Amino acid sequence: MRKERKQVRLLFTSPPYFALTNYHYDQWLRLWLMGGPPSAQRLPGAHKVRGKFENPKAYRELLLSVFSACAERLSKDGVAYVRTGAASLTLDATREALHTALPRFAMREVRRPYTKATQTSLFGDSSKKAGEVDLVLTRL
């Protein structure tokens, strides 16, 4: 007997940005508190998602895989709300993955430019950043 999966009405997420975010490194203290290694160092043979997602092909595949799995759980009246980076590869890959995984959904974009200094300014990087984009998907 196959167990029926519960459906969700809201997918609310912000996937990693291409070549920018290293969640493993950024969250090492939290991971350590949950039983992980006591440092942010990458372990030999560590899983490929413990990096900055710098391979464009692997990055696109990751997004498509995750959004496809989410699509299986999204109810017919569900909504997907995805905040992503406005840099071209991040935004294009996220759009493509969402269009492929949710082909019967309309997508609306809301630009969210940065109006203040970002975290990177704490480390001396005061260059202009692309900002973020909210992608809101509803069924056609």
Domains along the sequence of the chain with CATH: 8-18+53-139 (3.40.50.150)
- Give me the mean pLDDT over the 35-48 stretch: 64
Instruction: Please state, in angstroms and rounded to a whole number, the distance separating the CA atoms of residues 99 and 83.
Output: 15
- Predicted pLDDT of residue 85: 94
Average pLDDT (109-125) is 85
Mean pLDDT lowest for which of 18-32, 58-72, 88-102, 125-139?
Answer: 18-32
Is the pLDDT score of 47 beyond 60? no
Supply the pLDDT for residue 120.
Answer: 76
Write down the pLDDT at residue 5.
75
Q: What is the pLDDT of residue 128?
A: 83
CA–CA distance, 74 with 71 (Å, rounded to integer): 5
SS3 67: helix
